[in-house]
Amino acid sequence: MTELNYLGQPVGAEVVNWSPRAWPVAKPIEGRWCWLEPLDPVRHGAQLFESYRADRSGRLWTYLPYGPFEDFSSYEAWLVEVAHRSDPMFFAIIDGARRAVGVASYQRIDPQAGTIEVGHLNFSPALQGSTAATEAMIMMMRVVFDELGYRRYEWKCDALNDASRRAAERLGFTYEGTFRQATVVKGRNRDTAWYSIIDAEWPRLSKIFSQWLRPGNFDADGRQRESLAQLIALRGH
């Protein structure tokens, strides 16, 4: 039922006992299939560059505002420029072979409103479509909701980036709309698709993620028995 103020106007629901949340900490996050480490150009740079070189066509960089990088020195210079920042706060994704195979970040961090966006996702061919890639995203969500108590987690992407949109939906994000002519990237128009998960949805999704990540859901070769999309569909969205 919609609440009314003393003037009879509809107003949003009261947020009881709300206070600004803490800023996320750049610290390692450990999982079963991968772990995240604060991005370090010295420790991760060469491995990341080599991982991305497996993408011969350069398609990894199409929807990012930077790259592709012609050589390691130019990529390293970019890493040095961004690695020290607190927003965006970059992490390297480390696989089971202890290789840095991708990056992700927290960005547009707003402790006052309790919102964080995940962004700068760049998964090498070795990481794409893997259990480790999904676990990395789940671990970042758990920090946001379980540790920090934020209210809203956002995913935004180029509206033409079908792979990113499918990934958001598979992870349980809700599509909220498209901002037309939101920005200009590499000299081209970008319409931005917005997705989110809010704190009221998190308990259900958290249980689904735990069910999907349970050891019994994977065979000896690491292949999933029940897909995440199936589990989310079974429990409703």
Are the C-beta atoms of 204 and 215 separated by less than 8 Å? no
Are the C-beta atoms of 94 and 34 separated by less than 8 Å? yes
Is position 183 within any domain?
Answer: no
Is position 226 within any domain?
Answer: no
Is position 128 within any domain?
Answer: yes
Cα-Cα-Cα-Cα torsion 203, 207, 213, 217, nearest 10 degrees, comes to -160
Give the domain range for residue 108.
Answer: 23-151+199-221
pLDDT averaged per 10 residues, the chain (length 237): 92 94 97 96 98 95 96 97 97 96 98 98 96 97 98 98 97 97 98 98 97 92 88 74
**CATH, residue 40:** 3.40.630.30
Q: What's the confidence (pLDDT) of residue 236?
A: 60
pTM of the predicted protein model: 0.95
Is position 138 within any domain?
Answer: yes
Is position 191 within any domain?
Answer: no
Exposure of 125 by Cβ count < 10 A (0-12 exposed, 13-18 middle, 19+ buried)? middle
Is position 11 within any domain?
Answer: no
Q: What's the confidence (pLDDT) of residue 223?
A: 86
